[in-house]
Structure 1
Amino acid sequence: MSLIPLTEAIQTNALQHIRLIATDIDGTLTKQGKLTTDLLQALSQLKQAKIPIILITGRSAGWVQALKYYLPVTGAIAENGGLFYPFEFDQPQFLISLNSLSQHRQNLAQVFQILQVQCPHLHASADNPFRFTDWTFDIQNISLSEIQLLTELCEELGWGFTYSTVQGHIKPKTQDKATGLLKVIQQYWSELTPEQILTIGDSPNDQTLFNSELFPESVGVANLLDYTDQLTHKPRYITAGLEVEGFCEIVNIFHSFLVP
């Protein structure tokens, strides 16, 4: 499937029916790893347009719990679909079943140790103490062949694996962004149709959000083009701008909904 330039959607008002946006953070809302004033303005415009924003990221629960208070968003999904923080509550809503959190963490740590035997240069990410549902390691300087090896090893051990521009993630097989997002939508926005939801991302751990059978309307910011050969699912549209500049292009679509 070829990617349609976002300009075509703008010209044809193709996304005027969107009533909720779910977006990745790193590489999608950031610029060189930082939040910008352009992002804050764009999110404020969407809030004025009464379009709920759900952040959906691979970042840890601790990181997301803090972030949701500082941005004008409706809620945030952490750990690639592991848990959801509604704006109005401090406690997370788990989106996967865990019989014992402590045992789950031990199991994840053991899987990581097995991966280290095959790839000794893997380093656990500093944010693991702030995670509940997955285990992460730094992704820099890891080759595509090693990514494939890690994926296969996790599969053999009964676990899932995904990665972003930031981290590799060991996780339960059924845990992914799309599955988590669908659970949140069913609970809080069950009146919406799939065509009224726009999903946005930039890397392989976003690809379930690009599954057109689940989310017909999706956008990749331009830096996603670095990964298209590695994606099973690709977004419908692609922006011209990289990172947050691409996100701001998307927000421009919704100017007609803004409150005067």
Structure 2
Amino acid sequence: MTAKRLQALATEQGRQALAQIRLVATDMDGTLTQAEEFNDSLLVMLEKLQTSGMPVLITTGRSAGWVHGLLHYLPVVLAIAENGGLYFTKANRYPTFLQPIADDHRQLLLQQFNRLRQKYPQLKESSDNPFRLTDWTFDVTGLSLESLQWMTDNCHENGWGFTYSTVQCHIKPLPQDKASGLTQVIAQQFPDLAHHQVLTIGDSPNDESMFDPAQFPNSVGVANVSHYLDALAHHPTFVTQAEEGQGFSELVKALFAAMNP
């Protein structure tokens, strides 16, 4: 499947979907970033959304420690870290956990990482791993789709979940994913919103659960999601023409046009 077969955002169907939106839930790396960095355009778009009264939250695979600091600087209402494991709000800088975590959780994650290293001894723990609370990460660079599938199967056989992004691979609790975490956050922080009023945005396999139309019917992939379509069971409802942060800017402009016809 190619990106051309996905529904273009600039259609009447896309406009009707965007007109319903009351909350934006977006991935970060490869979606808000451009060439792995935030640029001026992103900050302008986030500030415009904030000023218009459209709340934005980030849902990322990045670590709790990393996200805790980032939330202080960006005009967003809250941030979900570690692919749905926990979240921080502006008002409460202590993490709210979305999955139960046992005292020996990190040791058990390390055991599973070592199982994977028995077959792939070259695996390198990610530099942000010491700042994580709910998952265990290692670098994705150089891993084939076949290797990633084997890791997924091995983790499942041992009672763990597994996902990956453009940045890293994640060993995590089986029920932990972005959609389940986002669902809990909506119930806790935005109880009056229906899921069709939430716009989910992403670009890679760890965003797949947010592309599930049974959970979030209005989803958008920035154009670089096309690199992963063959690996995704769920595809975004709409796709932008531009990649990465430029795709997010394209989306925000379309959202404003739908909000102010």
Global fold match (TM > 0.5): yes
Q: Indicate the RMSD between aligned Cα atoms, in angstroms.
A: 1.6
Could you list the runs of 5+ residues in structure 2 that have no partner in the other structure?
Answer: none
Q: Which amino acid aligns with 2:94?
A: Q
Contact kept, 8 Å, 2:17 with 2:218, in 1: the verdict is no
Describe the superposition over 1:212-254 as per-residue Cα deviations: whole angstroms up to 9, x where unpaired: 0110100000000000000011100000000000000110023
Describe the superposition over 1:121-141 as per-residue Cα deviations: whole angstroms up to 9, x where unpaired: 111101111000000000000
What does residue 174 of structure 2 align with? Answer: 173
Question: Which of 16, 21, 28 is matched with 2:31 structurally?
Answer: 28
What does residue 42 of structure 1 align with? Answer: 45
User: Are 2:72 and 1:69 equivalent residues in the alignment?
Assistant: yes
- Sequence identity percentage: 49
Contact kept, 8 Å, 1:13 with 1:253, in 2: the verdict is no
**TM-score, normalising length: structure 1:** 0.95
Shift of 1:14: 3.2
List aligned pairs for 1:215-234, cutoff 5 A: 215-234=216-235
User: Are 2:99 and 1:99 equivalent residues in the alignment?
Assistant: no
Contact kept, 8 Å, 1:49 with 1:254, in 2: the verdict is no
Between the aligned partners of 1:12 and 1:39, the Cα distance in structure 2 is: 22
Could you list the runs of 5+ residues in structure 1 that have no partner in the other structure?
Answer: none
Query: How many residue pairs are counted as aligned between the two chains?
Result: 257
List aligned pairs for 1:143-154, cutoff 5 A: 143-154=144-155
List aligned pairs for 1:188-203, cutoff 5 A: 188-203=189-204
Between the aligned partners of 2:209 and 2:14, the Cα distance in structure 1 is: 27
Describe the superposition over 1:14-59 as per-residue Cα deviations: whole angstroms up to 9, x where unpaired: 3111000000000000011100000000101111111111100000
**TM-score, normalising length: structure 2:** 0.95
Question: Which of 50, 56, 60 is matched with 1:57 structurally?
Answer: 60
Between the aligned partners of 1:211 and 1:78, the Cα distance in structure 2 is: 20
Between the aligned partners of 1:9 and 1:122, the Cα distance in structure 2 is: 46
Between the aligned partners of 2:16 and 2:102, the Cα distance in structure 1 is: 47
Shift of 1:258: 8.0
